[in-house]
Amino acid sequence: MLLEKQLLKKTLNTLIELKASIRDTADPGVIVRLDEVIDQLQSVIEGRKPEDPDKILNGLGKFLKMLPSIEALMSFLSDD
């Protein structure tokens, strides 16, 4: 459990840093989606409410798909 919480904190910190780096250039919808994922992770870490891990990962996936460079990479990697 301790390792899991440490990984969640690292993920949260990475997402917060990412938000700071894209806040001036990203579409507002991207920031909203990222804020949702950050809030969900903070809730889990602080024990305020248990979140379904699938819900968090799904939200993170939706955020990543909103970034054009990530979407292009995912498309490239999925082509055979």
pLDDT tens digits, one per residue of 3-17: 788 888 999 999 999
pLDDT tens digits, one per residue of 26-79: 888 888 989 999 998 898 888 887 667 788 888 888 888 787 777 677 677 777
Residue ranges in the chain assigned as alpha helix (H): 2-22, 28-46, 53-65, 68-78
35: CB partners within 8 A, 6+ apart = 19
The answer to whether 16 and 38 are in contact (CB under 8 A) is yes
Q: What is the pTM of this model?
A: 0.74
- Nearest alpha-carbon partner for 60 in 75, 78, 43, 39: 39
Q: How do the domains of the chain map onto residue ranges?
A: 2-78
Predicted local distance difference test score (pLDDT) of residue 63 = 82
- Cα torsion through 15, 54, 50, 64, rounded to 10: 20
